[in-house]
Structure 1
Amino acid sequence: MTKSEPKIIANGFTDEELCKWMEEKLRSVRFLRSALQEKQELLEALAEVDARIKNLECAASMEYGC
């Protein structure tokens, strides 16, 4: 099954203006993907730090059985 191409209603934009608009949208999508990847990496790093803190709290505790 072949998909048809999407249709864009230009609302008076020239071809050049429309191309510039699409380029800006693509740039924004790339920045968003990059930011989401960075967020994921930071969340993973935070989880590692949280695990270290939990281990250190247990090691530093005066109570037995952490």
Structure 2
Amino acid sequence: MNEGNTPHSFDIDELDVHSGIVNPGGSWTVDIVAPAQPVLFRTYCAIPGHAEQGMVGQLIIE
């Protein structure tokens, strides 16, 4: 859920996950098949400048 007042996206390149723009108040869901081995994926907002401003994260599968 985008609880802010700025559009964002949710992206994980390695899984080909790209939400597109999620507007304020909007939400988006995705189903993924978890790998059998532990792995860490980088997540980020693909709106220009957002990742550089720290809008990044990690999805850790153990």
| TM-score bracket, shorter-length normalisation | under 0.3
User: TM-score, normalised on structure 2?
Assistant: 0.18
Higher RCO structure (Cα 8 Å, ≥6 apart):
2
User: TM-score, normalised on structure 1?
Assistant: 0.17
